[in-house]
């Protein structure tokens, strides 16, 4: 049952064109009455009225939940490597108010039922069902519908009520919940229903009087569920649902290993453990105290202080200074055969003189010595004059008569071997010691001299030394030359260091790195391409 309207041959309606009364058709109800009610519904929307939608991200809205939209966002910037993949989530809570609102209709339309009479609440529910049918079908005469999309829908006037944001590193995507506030097509005011007045007469209803039915309209949507909404990925199972607007998608940057070639500039602070690295490294000027083992060849000028290990090598330089040390040398053994010794026996005599032997150190040639022939000695025969006689009384008597002394052997001291002290490394020193050998004259002798020299040498040495030196050096001075061998060096080094570094480095690096990297990252990396986390749509129930 629909309200009555004035039947006229033309519009506007006047008494001249009036031809009677007739019920409004459903299409006519969906034209003017639906336009007035739904436009008022849209105009009064605050998000807290019955059948209205509200969306909050703190779940503070009124009504019954019709769905949620979760936005996840990476907490790490694009390009982070290695990445943990951590995210934050913002939840948008959508609700539709379902609490019934008070109804108050003072101007009731009239209908024909065995005569003209005012419509009851039940009769009005039928009219409102027709209005809601136009509303959910998005009739061009209606307003108040919602749509979920990024830009304003076409047709009529739309107002953004709420915002859903998909946050991303590369830029956010915003979707709005729009509501239509002005219909696409103007309604025909000649289709206004009639009402009765106190004078038992009929009168065309004003738009304000028709708007009294808006609370009934709100309650009817909730009672029938036609015109209710859901926000979810797919249509609900129960009833008939139609999508309004486009989908809203939650996206986030993907995590993936990838091959990367390009320039990277940024700040890095953390632990870095490299694979073995081999390459040329040239430092800036370096000045600092250094203590450690050095092996290599380098030109060094500076002050050396300390005791190094044994040094073996060729050393050539001029030395001027005081030298004081203990000398312990190797045993010395040499064969000595000077010649024939002639002279009176002097067994165990002490000998004091100059010793010239195998060389220790280089000296100029010494003088030559010879043993020329000595005088000959003979024992010729001679006479032995008579000696005195002695008698021994009562015993035999002895006499020494004269006689002859035959010739005895003669001895000579022929020329001895000449000895010289040729040029060479030599050692001249006063020698004091004991000689033990044959006592008789004319006996050649050959002896071996073996001795160790241990003592202190104190003096000044000035000259050139060429040879091998093995020992410990203690002192300080300036040294210029090439050093080869391991040693512990403590001192100050100033200069540029260029070397090849091969090692594994692990430590903390803080600074700016700028360079070209080509290779494969291993581990999670935040990349710019996005993955879809979830998708939601706005659905309206139509049946």
Q: What pLDDT is stored for residue 523 in this prediction? A: 72
Using only C-alpha atoms, the chain has a radius of gyration, in whole angstroms, of: 66
Q: What pLDDT is stored for residue 201 in this prediction? A: 87
**CB 513, CB 264: distance < 8 Å:** yes
User: Which residues, 6 or more positions from 238, have their beta carbon under 8 angstroms from its beta carbon?
Assistant: none
Lowest mean pLDDT among 35-44, 436-445, 496-505: 436-445
Average pLDDT, the chain: 75
Residues 294-311: what's their mean pLDDT? Answer: 53
Portion of the chain with pLDDT greater than 70, in percent: 51
**CB 462, CB 291: distance < 8 Å:** no
Quote the CA–CA distance of 329 and 246 in Å, as a whole number.
Answer: 104
Digit-coded pLDDT (tens) for 87-142: 999 999 999 999 999 999 999 999 998 889 999 999 999 999 999 999 999 999 99
Q: What pLDDT is stored for residue 510 in this prediction? A: 60
pLDDT confidence bin for 486, thresholds 50/70/90: low
Enumerate the β-bridge partners of residue 503: 277
Phi-psi bin for 425: left (phi > 0), alpha (psi -120 to 50), beta?
beta
- 430-467 per-residue burial string, b: 16 or more CB within 10 A, e: under 16: eeeeeeeeeeeeeeeeeeeeeeeeeeeeeeeeeeeeee
Q: What pLDDT is stored for residue 243 in this prediction? A: 98
Does position 63 have pLDDT exceeding 80, yes or no? yes
Digit-coded pLDDT (tens) for 170-225: 899 999 999 999 999 999 999 999 999 876 789 999 999 999 999 999 999 999 99
Does position 324 have pLDDT exceeding 70, yes or no? no
Q: What pLDDT is stored for residue 13 in this prediction? A: 76
Residues 350-373: what's their mean pLDDT? Answer: 49
Digit-coded pLDDT (tens) for 241-272: 999 999 999 999 999 875 555 555 555 555 55
Of the two residues 524 and 500, the one the predictor is more confident about is 524
Of the two residues 316 and 498, the one the predictor is more confident about is 498
Residue 152 CA to its chain's centroid (Å): 48
Digit-coded pLDDT (tens) for 424-465: 444 444 445 555 555 555 555 444 444 444 555 556 556 665
Of the two residues 514 and 25, the one the predictor is more confident about is 25
Q: What pLDDT is stored for residue 64 in this prediction? A: 98
Q: Residue 484: name the closest of 322, 344, 239, 309 by CA.
A: 309
Lowest mean pLDDT among 102-106, 237-241, 297-301, 512-516: 297-301
Helix or strand run (H / E) with residue 36: helix 34-43
Model pTM greater than 0.85? Answer: no
Quote the CA–CA distance of 107 and 209 in Å, as a whole number.
Answer: 6
By CB atoms closer than 10 A (0-12, 13-18, 19+), residue 403 is: exposed
Residues 64-75: what's their mean pLDDT? Answer: 97
**CB 473, CB 308: distance < 8 Å:** yes
Of the two residues 471 and 528, the one the predictor is more confident about is 528
Quote the CA–CA distance of 171 and 166 in Å, as a whole number.
Answer: 9
């Amino acid at each position: 049952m629909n309200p009555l309207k004035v039947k006229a041959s033309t519009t506007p309606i006047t008494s001249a064109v009036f031809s009677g009364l007739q019920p409004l058709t459903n299409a006519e109800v969906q034209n003017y009455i639906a336009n007035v009610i739904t436009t008022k519904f849209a105009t009064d929307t605050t998000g807290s009225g019955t059948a209205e939608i509200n969306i909050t991200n703190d779940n503070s809205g009124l009504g019954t939940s019709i769905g949620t939209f979760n936005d996840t966002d990476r907490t790490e910037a694009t390009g982070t490597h290695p990445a943990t993949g951590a995210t934050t989530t913002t939840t948008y809570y959508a609700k539709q108010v379902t609490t019934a609102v008070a109804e108050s209709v003072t101007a009731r339309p009239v209908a024909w039922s065995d005569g003209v009479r005012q419509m009851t609440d039940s009769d009005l529910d039928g009219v409102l069902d027709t209005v809601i049918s136009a509303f959910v079908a998005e009739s061009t005469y209606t307003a108040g519908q919602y749509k979920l999309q990024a830009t304003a829908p076409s047709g009529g006037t739309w107002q953004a009520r709420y915002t859903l944001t998909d946050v991303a590193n590369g830029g956010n995507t915003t979707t709005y919940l729009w509501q239509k506030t002005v219909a696409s097509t103007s309604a025909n005011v000649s289709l206004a229903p009639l009402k009765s007045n106190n004078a038992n007469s009929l009168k065309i209803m004003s738009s304000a009087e028709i708007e009294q039915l808006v609370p009934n309209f709100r309650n009817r949507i909730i009672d029938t569920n036609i015109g209710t909404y859901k926000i979810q990925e797919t249509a609900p199972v129960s009833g008939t649902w139609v999508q309004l607007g486009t989908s809203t998608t939650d996206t986030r940057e993907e995590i993936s290993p990838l091959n990367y070639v390009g320039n990277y500039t940024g700040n890095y602070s953390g632990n870095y453990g490299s694979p073995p690295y081999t390459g040329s490294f040239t430092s800036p000027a370096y000045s600092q105290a250094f203590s450690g083992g050095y092996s290599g060849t380098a030109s060094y000028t500076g002050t050396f202080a300390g005791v190094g290990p044994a040094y073996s090598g060729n050393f050539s330089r001029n030395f001027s200074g005081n030298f004081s040390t203990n000398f312990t040398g190797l045993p010395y053994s040499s064969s000595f055969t000077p010649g024939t010794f002639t002279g009176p026996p002097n067994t165990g005599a002490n000998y004091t003189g100059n010793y010239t032997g195998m060389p220790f150190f280089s000296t100029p040639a010494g003088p030559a010595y010879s043993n020329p022939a000595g005088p000959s000695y003979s024992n010729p025969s001679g006479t032995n004059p008579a000696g005195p006689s002695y008698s021994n009384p009562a015993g035999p008597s002895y006499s020494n008569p004269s006689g002859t002394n035959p010739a005895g052997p003669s001895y000579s001291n022929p020329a001895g071997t000449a000895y010289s002290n040729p040029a060479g490394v030599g050692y001249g020193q006063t020698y004091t010691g004991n000689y033990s050998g044959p006592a008789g004259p004319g006996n050649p002798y050959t002896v071996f001299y073996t001795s160790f020299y241990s003592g202190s040498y104190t003096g000044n040495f000035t000259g050139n030394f060429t040879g091998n030196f093995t020992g410990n050096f203690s002192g300080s001075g300036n040294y210029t030359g090439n050093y080869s061998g391991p040693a512990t060096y403590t001192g100050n080094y100033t200069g540029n260091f260029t070397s090849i570094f091969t090692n594994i480095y692990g430590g903390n690096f803080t600074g700016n790195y700028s360079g070209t990297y080509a290779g494969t990252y291993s581990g999670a990396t935040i990349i710019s391409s996005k993955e879809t986390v979830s998708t939601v749509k706005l659905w309206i129930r139509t049946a």
